[in-house]
Amino acid sequence: MSPQNPNPPQEQPTLKLTSTEDYRDGYANSVQVRMSVWDFFLVFGTMSQQSAEELTVKNFQGIYLSPQQAKALWNVLGHNLAQYEQTFGSITLEQLPQSGGPVN
């Protein structure tokens, strides 16, 4: 007699993606990450430089994520970046000076 599975596999629900009326796409070349015990706060903006002495960042959207959702985003971005680099080559980053500001 074979043992019965006490937890039979459950069918996955169908995923239905929709957008709210206020949904919008945007381009960001600046992302600031702030964190607290309870959440991560991502602030998206566009950065421009009019002179050698000054960078201007115009923030346009802030998104709060739970620590679990932030970790899931980290995993998804890492997977997609690896695929991108495999297809198009290595991505290099220019390093900007750190502000040394507080972490909230």
Q: What is the pLDDT of residues 2-36, one digit of tens each?
A: 566 667 678 889 999 999 999 989 999 999 999 99
Domain total for the chain? 1
pLDDT at residue 89 tops 90:
yes
- 3-state DSSP call for residue 68? helix
Kindly give the pairing relationship between strand 40-51 and strand 30-35. Answer: antiparallel
Residues spanned by the domain of 34: 30-88
Domain annotation covers residue 10: no
pLDDT at residue 99 tops 80:
no
pLDDT at residue 101 tops 60:
no
Domain annotation covers residue 60: yes
Domain annotation covers residue 68: yes
pTM of the model: 0.70
Domain annotation covers residue 84: yes
